Structure 1
Amino acid sequence: MNDSLPLPDVLRSALAGLLDGLPPSATTGAVDRLIGHYRGVVPTHAPVLRDRSDVAAYAAYRMPATFEAVRSALGALRDATGTWTPATHTDIGGGTGSASWAVAEAWQDADAPVATTVLDWAEPALAVGRELAEASGVPGLREARWQRARIGSALTLESAGLITVSYVLNELTADDRRALVDAVAGAATGAVLIVEPGTPDGYARIIEARDRLIAAGLSVAAPCPHSAACPIEPGTDWCHFSARVSRSSLHRQVKGGSLAYEDEKFSYVAATRFDPDPATARVVRRPQIRKGQVLLDLCLPDERLRRETVSKRHGPLYRAARDAEWGDPWPPHSADPL
């Protein structure tokens, strides 16, 4: 690994090596099939990724976006947990390891690499995940265990400091979703992070998981500033966030389109076994910048949603509001509250 390269660039380089030599037509065809599959109802009787071509297509199509979504959610979890560092990590339904790459980056400065175990149904995905991890040169990834497991109600979990479940719940039946979340809550000794697509259905799955984690005794660390009921009235809106994904020429070739970036919309919940320090409030919509003022839509600790107007008269807070992004805590630690 080139130590001067940030991990997202290392991932892009590894993906380019993965697709090297594969016919573009085969990769593009597999991507089209996978797009159709993930936009529809996902069957649970067979793995989605059938062979190496499918896995290569999936990795190029989804890994950069999944990595950025989990990376963003982990940033919020770390903000709420201070110096806490997981010694072990289980990546459930991890496939080619997007969440494991994000975890490796989040705690890359820890005294020892986070010991990761990736569990997935599809052996071809695990094989490619091992290959990408080896190409990364990152100790925590190169030393990860890649194990085949049926993800659902029959899954038996060993305890782990951190358990991630990213873009998995949609692939399960309702009963399996509930059983998996309960098993994760019981096995996590430190924290749980669950990420789903930023759609109304994805948000509904996150809210159900959030309720079950709280019932199991965990406390919400992010994105919510509290562990009480979500203030969004069901069916009227949904809580989701956005992560900017840089698109390499390879990524643009596989997915089509010409923009150098895309925005990955996602919903998530992070919860801990210990008392976290959640954000005072959370920016839950893209800030609107007007002449001399910024409009912020906030989720507040008293179970309310509120639009806050920050104007020039607020000085440093106004400058912070102009720099605020969707999903950020508010106010920033460097600015005084209104």
Structure 2
Amino acid sequence: MNVPLPVPVADALRDSLAGLLDGLPPRQAGQAVERLIASYRGRTPTDAPILRDRADVVAYAAYRMPATFAAVRSALAEFAAAVPEWAPGRQVDVGGGTGAAVWAAGAVWPGARPVTVLDWAEPALALGREIAAAQPDLRDVQWQRSRIGAALTIESTDLITVSYVLNELTAPDRTAVVDAAARAAQAVVIVEPGTPDGYTRVIEARDRLLAAGFHIAAPCPHGAACPIVPGTDWCHFAARVSRSSLHRQVKGGSLAYEDEKFSYVAATRFPPVPAASRVVRKPQIRKGQVLLDLCEHEPALGRTTVTKRHGPLYKAARDADWGDAWPPA
């Protein structure tokens, strides 16, 4: 899913994040990130925000916001391809923190629009407001403190994004948040970590959206049950992210990039035009042929082999990436 990023938005976000760590010693930033990662991997009650102060938020935003932006932007781009005549007039970002999903939506659908970011951590909202000042289209975003859980109410809107949030909630709160989003929006896009647990949460949300009358726009080419046998595999994708010095310090790696793994579902109240099939594994390029693992419309998982005899389709297969629609439009 290596869709080229619109340079102005990506650069503005990178430049805004670059100055965040000024005055915060690298060792302190690294320790803060390691502690916060450990907290996120545990069980988090909805009434105890993990991001407690500016130092926490600065460290975690510099470390995680580029990856969240890349994953959500990839999911929104595939969603936009399924609804080419539609663009959101209004967005609500649930549990949006510093606003990565708002930046991502601006990269896919350029231009200013009414946006509200809901989060329980005031320091995250404050920092989100601060860095959004670098992007003219985001200067009027409303940053609103709100408990994300059973008591959540959401105003009527076109698009609701819920990214890397459900993993922080109890099961009843996850259900309540998805149901609240379904009641309020014309389109809902949910992104979770690309792990077996993240995929399970996405499937649970997908089932609730279908039950509420939504149509699946992406990544699935159908609205039937997922053909993956539970416990044998999970559906996830990857978005490439440039590593900052803080990334390399915390992870001890030397590569200039990493791949952010994520699972997602995008659903709409109105009928989309989903992909005929979706590439669900990295394509295998061999001499004179390309092997594509696909989730198909039937629904079913299958493998197709594209050879030189297929002409232009062979070149398209060689250019195909994990997460792409197949065949290309």
TM range (shorter): over 0.9
Q: CA deviation at 1:130?
A: 0.3
TM-score (norm 2): 0.96
Q: CA deviation at 1:273?
A: 0.8
- Which letter maps to 1:125? A
Q: CA deviation at 1:94?
A: 0.2
Q: CA RMSD in A?
A: 1.3
Sequence identity (%): 70
Output one character per residue of 1:13-72: Cα deviation in whole Å (capped at 9) or x when no partner.
111111111122221110010121222333333101010000001101110000000000
Q: CA deviation at 1:83?
A: 2.1
Contact (CA 8 Å) 1:89, 1:160: kept in 2 or not?
yes
**Which one of 177, 191, 206 corresponds to residue 180 of structure 1?**
177
Secondary structure at the counterpart of residue 162 of structure 1: strand
- Which letter maps to 1:91? D
Q: Distance in 2 between matches of 1:15 and 1:250?
A: 11
User: Which sections of structure 2, spanning at least 5 residues, go unmatched?
Assistant: 1-5
Aligned partner of 1:131 in structure 2 is: 130
Contact (CA 8 Å) 1:281, 1:300: kept in 2 or not?
yes
Aligned partner of 2:319 in structure 1 is: 323
- Which letter maps to 2:169? L
Q: After superposing the two structures, state which structure 1 stretch, 46-55 or 10-19, moved more.
A: 10-19
Secondary structure at the counterpart of residue 174 of structure 2: helix
Aligned partner of 2:26 in structure 1 is: 24
- Which letter maps to 2:288? G
Q: Distance in 1 between matches of 2:46 and 2:80?
A: 33
Q: Distance in 1 between matches of 2:118 and 2:292?
A: 39
Aligned partner of 2:257 in structure 1 is: 261
- Which letter maps to 1:129? G
Aligned partner of 2:9 in structure 1 is: 7
Aligned partner of 1:152 in structure 2 is: 149
Output one character per residue of 1:146-201: Cα deviation in whole Å (capped at 9) or x when no partner.
0000000101110110000000001110001001101100000x210000000000
Q: CA deviation at 1:251?
A: 4.1
Aligned partner of 1:119 in structure 2 is: 118
- Which letter maps to 2:81? D
Aligned partner of 2:222 in structure 1 is: 226
Q: Distance in 2 between matches of 1:40 and 1:259?
A: 28
- Which letter maps to 2:61? A
**Which one of 275, 291, 309 corresponds to residue 295 of structure 1?**
291
Q: Distance in 1 between matches of 2:152 and 2:299?
A: 35
Q: Distance in 2 between matches of 1:163 and 1:7?
A: 20
Q: Distance in 1 between matches of 2:203 and 2:292?
A: 23
Contact (CA 8 Å) 2:187, 2:266: kept in 1 or not?
yes
Q: CA deviation at 1:104?
A: 1.2
**Which one of 244, 249, 253 corresponds to residue 248 of structure 1?**
244
Q: Distance in 1 between matches of 2:218 and 2:12?
A: 28
Please give the residue correspondences for 1:14-93 in structure 2 after superposition, counting only pairs within 5 Å.
14-93=16-95
Q: CA deviation at 1:11?
A: 1.0
Q: Distance in 2 between matches of 1:100 and 1:130?
A: 11
Q: CA deviation at 1:271?
A: 0.2
| Aligned length in residues | 324
TM-score (norm 1): 0.93
Secondary structure at the counterpart of residue 18 of structure 1: coil
- Which letter maps to 1:270? A
Aligned partner of 1:336 in structure 2 is: none
- Which letter maps to 2:271? D
Q: Distance in 2 between matches of 1:41 and 1:296?
A: 38
Contact (CA 8 Å) 1:52, 1:128: kept in 2 or not?
yes
Q: Distance in 1 between matches of 2:246 and 2:52?
A: 22
Contact (CA 8 Å) 2:30, 2:246: kept in 1 or not?
no
Say if 2:304 is the partner of 1:308. yes
- Which letter maps to 2:136? V
Q: CA deviation at 1:254?
A: 5.3
